[in-house]
Chain A
């Protein structure tokens, strides 16, 4: 099965600062990759998904962006964070025969 690594696990950032969250995948090649955000007590909101290197689809207009520089690397970025960007960010990998999405352990972001 796949293993999803995310870092950092936790970070506290001031409003207006930049952001970079990284996700790498082991155990598969050419996976579909996803960034989800989970606000406190809320569901999982799909932010971006990618079916290949350099191919990014955005689901929600926002001040975040995503990039996929390598097959198994997915990066979530922001130039200037907003308070509303706080949340639990989950990277996921799919593309398996079972249809299962494998999730990383998440990155908890607090914007102050």
Chain B
């Protein structure tokens, strides 16, 4: 079951904040976040495990609400380099790392 992401696209000015949401209809074991630049491979940002803590760096962080099967990615003080498509991926159970990805959120940061 593919997770649902919102919004589908967002345009930000440098320095603005953004939130990308990801929700699943099934109970989740983990949520992954990746960023993909055009024509390139997706790059891992972070993983949030059931029962784990909120993860992230100073300006990119994420949360995982296990009861609601929802995760949010927080981008603070956006930079031009943040532009790309953000994918959340979900695992229903651990062990095989079988990750199902959402359709992505296209983020564009402009000067």
Counting CB contacts under 8 A, is A44 at the interface?
Answer: yes
B42: which of A32, A44, A49, A98 is its contact (CB, 8 Å)?
A: A44
Please pick, from B49, B96, B101, the residue contacting A51 in the complex, using a CB distance under 8 A.
B96
- B57-111 interface (Cβ within 8 A of A): 87, 89, 96-104
CB of A103 within 8 A of CB of B42, answer yes
Q: How far is the CB of A88 from chain B (nearest CB, A)?
A: 8
Q: How many A-B residue pairs have CB under 8 A?
A: 54
Q: B residues within 8 A CB of A94?
A: 97
- What residues of chain B lie closer than 8 Å to A106, measured between beta carbons? 40-41
B30 contacts A46, C-beta separation under 8 Å: no
Residues of B within 8 A of A99 (CB): 30, 32, 47, 49, 97
Bound complex: CA of A46 vs CA of B40, how far in Å?
17
Q: Which residues of B are interface residues toward A (Cβ below 8 A)? A: 2, 30, 32, 34, 40-44, 47, 49, 87, 89, 96-104
Query: What are 22 A-B pairs with beta-carbon distances under 8 A?
Result: A32-B96, A32-B97, A42-B103, A43-B104, A44-B89, A44-B101, A46-B99, A46-B101, A49-B96, A95-B97, A99-B49, A100-B32, A100-B44, A101-B34, A101-B44, A101-B89, A101-B97, A101-B99, A103-B41, A103-B42, A106-B40, A106-B41
